[in-house]
Amino acid sequence: MSINSPYSPTGKGRTDSTLFDFSAAPETQQEGETEFLDNIDLDAPSPNPDKYKNENENENNVWRVSSSSSSSSSIYPSPLIASSSRPPLSTKSSALSSTTVSTLMTSGEGPTPLVLGVAVVDFNHLIGPTVEFAYPPSLQLAIQDDEEWMKLLPFLALPDGAHLSEEDYSYFHCTYNPSGGEVPTDVPSNQTLFGISCNRQLAASELTRRPSDVTRSMVQKAVVVIASQPVFGPIRDKLGVVTRAYFAQRDFTQTEILEDFYTSLESSLEGKSGEGAIYIGTSLRELVHKFRHRTLVLLKLLILQKRVMLFGYPVEKLCTYQYSLVSLIPGLLMSLRDSGSPDLDVKKKRVRPTSLRTSDRSSLLRYMGLPLQVFGKDSFFQPYMPLQQIHMLQAKSWLVGTTNQIVTQQKDCKYDLLVNIDTNAFEFSDPKIERLVTLTPADRKWMDDVVRTVEESYVLPEGERPGFKGSDDDLRARFEEYLCAALSSMKYADFLTKAKRQDISIVGVGGSAGDGPILSPFSEQWIASFRSTPAYEIWNGCTDPALFDICEPRHPCEGKVNAVSDLGLRLAEGFHDLHLDQQLGPTRDALSSAFAAGSSSIFKAFDGVRSEVNTRLQQQREESQKGNLNSNSGISTPITTSTTTTTTTTTPTSNVNQSGKQIEDLKSTLGGIGSGIGSFFGSRLNNLRNNNINNTSSSSTSGQIQNSTINGQNRSIGKDESIGKGLRPMSLIGSTNNNNNNSNSNSNMGSISRLGGWGKS
């Protein structure tokens, strides 16, 4: 039996295919559940939460938290914080009138505001960090009602090592769990709240009004904004300006500027809670430039719901890397309501869309089953984790960042991957996990194109960069294409497997559709591991079995790589990971300095020799000229013949002796240099001379005796001495062939004599 593949452009309607059972409910859908339309907001809570509760709860569904449950019912124990009482809030913000309370009671029925409030955290040297101010009263009541939130918020807003910088930002997640009483507040409960803080410090001596509890030289505070969506980008710059102005007052009791900031912030963010505003503050270019090819390794680990921890400083960069990584999964930043705690699992079920609008990107992503629910049951995401939340690491899956090294050393809650953002080091706790996320040749080729696109324009100023190529939108689109292709390939592989079991031949475009690899370009081990995750179960239950009709089931770089090019990519990335520029930088500088100093010394030495030679030659010419003048004057003087003869004979002899002395001095100067160079070359050629000792010993001795006689030194050099000292550089200047006649020998020795005795042993 042979049918056309639904993936083929010429394929017919798929309703008649025996490989698709579209009437059947998803495997994860329980009996009695109905499917909703695709225009429902998947991030909104279920219209009937009790419908999905199991009447007989057991240990497996203990993670489900109802709207009336308190924080004390969490499976994770609360941290033990040394605090005997709740730190009091500001007296001014604590004054709540009955009119304000009644207003809060009625306003709670409306939609949740984007900005929930502003708070100030102070580092008290006696009792530790505390919340000293909160506005509006809705936020103040919520903080006072949840004692655990009140204790934890100061440590989230003032991270470890905050005193090391003048200004820093911290991004964090928290939850509000009511104590059980009816509290008039707009703060939503049992869902993730998103906080951003700006911390600064000021010298206590600069305060115009110094409280009695300020006992140290520095005052450290943080201004915090609590929001219902992660709109950190639009808030960050405004928060920094207000914090600097708040510190510039030098009187922290003046909080009117913070109240005005809250009022203006809500109106300025109106309409900016969409996907475009959420991405403000993330930087995919910085992420790819930092981790290069290993950016895809981080994404694969995130999809596998592994334990990933980032360590380093500053806190803002630490948090930004994590948010940028999360934004690589399309739509995930808009679906973080369950990421604040392992106990949160509001969106337990997702429904399969029944319609598709290809012109609408959100409808297309929903049809593809995106975003993947990687932060759900027994998993959480905390951009900055203080030591007080270390108990949460007992969860099965998380993505966290920390600046405290104690958090990285916990043995009972070990990470799967530790990333040091300071040294760019990746440390896997298990080699098997490292092999699961190893990049395939197609992955390396695809990431090399991405990295090269970023690096080409990374150093360019903002105005000189290409419009779209290499931008964050371009990178986000490329990773979206990669992820959709991987998910589509999984559905296509399942389709081929089912057809093979039913003995059905699938005919695609250009031949058999099952001949080429489907999952191997993405790594079959990684795909198999993903199939065992809870995120896959949710995704597989809410997606169409013929998903490959919409997205091509093919790796973006399939067929574009070979063994030679892959080896080149491995070597290039391996050399880059060695950081040779950083490791060899000090050595290179030292060698350059030594070479420059040595070259300068050599040049100075040669300049000195040249100047000395020129000086002595000039003196020799002057002496010669004086001798000639004296000789001429002696001949023309009218004295007796005997006297004249004596004079003309003696004067040239005296001049010759003086010139010979100068020449000997010059020869000794150059001879020292020549002997050094001669010993260098002689040591290299000594082995060659030893092979011809028997043939050249007699002639060498005769030549040395003759040379000694010509120079008037009347000494001979023995064969043993010649052999011991080696060949001198005279062979480089003139011929020393013993077969030459006496005239050649005299000529050669004349050359040697003029060069200051370079050929002397």
- Asked whether the predicted pLDDT for residue 227 surpasses 60, the reply is yes
Comparing CA positions, the residue from 680, 677, 673 lying closest to residue 608 is 673
Strand partners, 711: none
CA 606 to chain centre: 50
* Model confidence, pTM: 0.67
Strand partners, 172: 195
Cβ count near 554 (within 10 Å): 18
Amino acid at the residue 453: T
- 213 and 169 in contact (C-beta within 8 Å)? no
| pLDDT value at residue 314 | 92
pLDDT, tens only, 167-183: 999 999 999 999 887 88
pLDDT band of 605, cuts 50, 70, 90: confident
CA 755 to chain centre: 63
pLDDT band of 137, cuts 50, 70, 90: very high
Torsion of CA 579, 582, 583, 588, to 10 degrees: 130
Of 37-51, 311-325, 408-422, which one has max mean pLDDT?
A: 311-325
**Plot region of 628 (φ>0 → left; ψ -120 to 50 → alpha; else → beta):** alpha
- 222 and 130 in contact (C-beta within 8 Å)? no
Of all residues in the chain, the percent with pLDDT exceeding 70 is 61
| Residue 334: its H or E element | none
Q: SS3 of 117, please?
A: strand
| Distance between CA atoms of residues 284 and 282, nearest Å | 7
- Asked whether the predicted pLDDT for residue 218 surpasses 50, the reply is yes
Torsion of CA 742, 748, 754, 760, to 10 degrees: -90
Structure tokens at 70: 């308190």
Structure tokens at 718: 């023995």
Q: SS3 of 511, please?
A: strand
pLDDT, tens only, 628-681: 776 665 544 444 444 333 333 344 444 445 555 555 655 565 555 555 555 555
Strands 128-135 and 115-124: antiparallel
Amino acid at the residue 331: G
Q: SS3 of 592, please?
A: helix
| Residue 4: its H or E element | strand 2-4
Judged on CB neighbours under 10 Å (0-12, 13-18, 19+), 357 is middle
Torsion of CA 542, 545, 551, 557, to 10 degrees: 110
| pLDDT value at residue 214 | 78
Q: SS3 of 722, please?
A: helix
| pLDDT value at residue 26 | 43
| pLDDT value at residue 415 | 94
Please list, residue by residue across 98-118, b when 16 or more beta carbons sit within 10 angstroms of its beta carbon and e when fewer do. eeeeeebeeeeeeeebbbbbb
Q: What DSSP assignment string belongs to 339-369?
A: -S-TT----------S---TT-HHHHHHHTT
Which of 119-133, 193-207, 747-761 has the weakest average pLDDT? 747-761
Amino acid at the residue 47: P
| Distance between CA atoms of residues 589 and 683, nearest Å | 33
CA 334 to chain centre: 26
| Distance between CA atoms of residues 275 and 86, nearest Å | 38
Q: What average pLDDT does range 244-261 have in this prediction?
A: 94
Q: What DSSP assignment string belongs to 640-703?
A: -HHHHHHHHHHHHHHHHHHHHHHHHHHHHHHHHHHHHHHHHHHHHHHHHHHHTHHHHHHHHHHH
| pLDDT value at residue 269 | 86
pLDDT, tens only, 668-684: 655 555 555 555 556 65
> What stretches of 328-440 show up as alpha helix (H) in DSSP?
361-367, 431-436
| pLDDT value at residue 574 | 67
| Distance between CA atoms of residues 332 and 309, nearest Å | 19
When the pLDDT of each residue in the chain is averaged and rounded to a whole number, the result is: 74
CA distances from 78 to 148, 271, 440 (A): 8, 37, 43
493-497 contacts, C-beta under 8 A, 24 or more apart:
493/518, 493/519, 493/527, 493/553, 494/545, 495/19, 495/545, 495/546, 495/548
Backbone angles phi, psi at 439, to 5 degrees: -75, 140
- Asked whether the predicted pLDDT for residue 32 surpasses 70, the reply is no
Considering all CA atoms of the chain, what is the largest pairwise distance in Å, rounded to the nearest integer? 151
pLDDT, tens only, 518-541: 899 999 999 999 999 999 999 999
